[in-house]
Amino acid sequence: MTHPVCMVLGADSDIGRTIACRFGKERFDLYLTTRSLDRIDQDWSSKLKDDYRIKISWFHFEGLEFDSHMNFYQHLPQPPEVVICVFGYLGDQKKAEVDFTEALKITQSNYTSQVSILNIVAEDMEHRKKGVIIGVSSVAGDRGRKANYLYGSAKGAFTIYLSGLRNRLHKSGVHVITIKPGYIRTKMTQHLTTPRWLTARPGQLAEKVFDAYLRKTNTVYYFSRWRWIMWLIKGIPETLFKRLNL
Ligand SMILES: NC(=O)c1ccc[n+]([C@@H]2O[C@H](COP(=O)([O-])OP(=O)(O)OC[C@H]3O[C@@H](n4cnc5c(N)ncnc54)[C@H](OP(=O)(O)O)[C@@H]3O)[C@@H](O)[C@H]2O)c1
């Protein structure tokens, strides 16, 4: 029996793995990408394959190698039904303020790379008149803060890109979902002290992503309380906001 295929770009991340598991549990065959094929946890991958009786294929994918993206996508064994763009880079805001190489890495790893690969995926799905694209953005993209406005600005651009893509692809029957996590306990945030009531586990987020896939939700905040928090934060007048220590 053939299963539908779900591709997770950045599947070696803490969030990527749990999302891959969740779709695997529903009997999607998985195309998983990483930048380091030699670092794959083979035990985890084999267990997932055996537990759910699915096929798993790993591919090398580097977001910053824009020129490789067309070739990468065209050489997949079959076109995926679901493409989930998880990869991203928090980076070092302070360093990026004075080192343009770091600023470029942050903006390209969280926006330009996603545009490059998703433009290709979108063309294909529009042509096939089916498919689902899921992009993991961030609440950080809702308003610029001094603590992380380079990462935030790239995520904000990604959110707007996904919104435009959703609008474009709607008439073709292709659905686009924007995921805006708040704090998720992963290696990206392990150096930060975050409030417990605002910090979710990757597994909780993965459940929500699958639920959004089933319901064809447009935008998901996780935890959902972040929707109201960001609504309040966006409502603070700029004259006051610029004085705050956020
Ligand atoms: N954790 C949070 O609180 C949080 C909140 C909001 C949004 N997010 C977003 O959730 C996604 C997953 O993050 P995570 O917390 O699971 O972090 P993570 O474990 O650090 O994962 C980041 C992943 O992105 C990959 N990556 C980075 N730059 C890449 C590039 N240029 N090309 C291909 N892959 C690249 C990394 O690969 P390597 O291992 O090879 O470096 C890694 O697998 C990210 O987009 C992040 O911005 C996270």
Query: What is residue 33's three-state secondary structure?
Result: strand
Return the residue whose CA atom lies nearest to atom 1 of ligand 1: 184
Task: Compute the C-alpha angle 100/149/153, nearest 5°.
Answer: 90
By most ligand atoms within 8 Å of CB, the mutation choice from 13, 19, 44, 204 for ligand 1 is: 13
Return the residue whose CA atom lies nearest to atom 32 of ligand 1: 63
* 184 in contact with ligand 1, CB cutoff 6 A: yes
Q: Are strands 175-181 and 132-136 parallel, antiparallel or unpaired?
A: parallel
Query: Residue 198 above 80 pLDDT?
Result: yes
Query: What is residue 128's three-state secondary structure?
Result: helix
Cα(215) to centroid(ligand 1), Å: 25
- CA 21/CA 163 separation, integer angstroms: 26
Return the residue whose CA atom lies nearest to atom 40 of ligand 1: 35
Instruction: Pick the closest to residue 161 from 129, 122, 125 (CA basis).
Output: 122
* 35 in contact with ligand 1, CB cutoff 6 A: yes
The distance from CA 27 to its chain's CA centroid, rounded to whole angstroms, is: 21
Q: Are strands 132-136 and 82-85 parallel, antiparallel or unpaired?
A: parallel
* 186 in contact with ligand 1, CB cutoff 6 A: yes
- pLDDT 10s digits, 69-128: 999 999 999 999 999 999 999 999 999 999 999 999 999 999 999 999 999 999 999 999
Domain map (residue ranges) of the chain: 5-241
* 136 in contact with ligand 1, CB cutoff 6 A: yes
pLDDT band at 234 (very low <50, low <70, confident <90, very high): very high
Query: Average pLDDT over the chain, rounded to whole?
Result: 97
> Which CB contacts under 8 angstroms, 24+ apart, belong to 20-25?
20/48, 21/48, 21/206, 22/206, 22/207, 22/209, 22/210, 23/82, 23/84, 23/210, 23/213, 24/48, 24/51, 24/52, 24/54, 24/56, 25/52
Return the residue whose CA atom lies nearest to atom 19 of ligand 1: 13
* 63 in contact with ligand 1, CB cutoff 6 A: yes
User: Which element (helix H / strand E) includes 32?
Assistant: strand 29-34
* 190 in contact with ligand 1, CB cutoff 6 A: no
pTM listed for this prediction = 0.98
* 68 in contact with ligand 1, CB cutoff 6 A: no
Asked if residues 182 and 197 have their Cβ atoms less than 8 Å apart, the reply is no
Return the residue whose CA atom lies nearest to atom 47 of ligand 1: 88
pLDDT band at 1 (very low <50, low <70, confident <90, very high): confident
Beta-bridge mates of residue 217: none
Q: Tell which atom from ligand 1 comes closest to the C-alpha of 188.
A: 20
CATH number of 5-241: 3.40.50.720
pLDDT band at 2 (very low <50, low <70, confident <90, very high): confident
Question: How distant, in Å, are the alpha carbons of 18, 122, 164, 168, 175 from that of 212?
Answer: 15, 19, 18, 19, 11
Q: Residue 173: how many CB atoms within 10 A of its CB? A: 12
> Which CB contacts under 8 angstroms, 24+ apart, belong to 228-232?
229/139, 229/182, 229/198, 230/139, 230/142, 230/143, 230/180
What are the residue ranges of helices labelled H in 64-201?
Answer: 69-74, 93-98, 100-107, 113-128, 149-169
Return the residue whose CA atom lies nearest to atom 25 of ligand 1: 87
Amino acid at 168: R
Query: Residue 137 above 80 pLDDT?
Result: yes
12: left (phi over 0), alpha (psi -120 to 50) or beta: alpha
By most ligand atoms within 8 Å of CB, the mutation choice from 188, 196, 205, 209 for ligand 1 is: 188
Query: What is residue 11's three-state secondary structure?
Result: coil
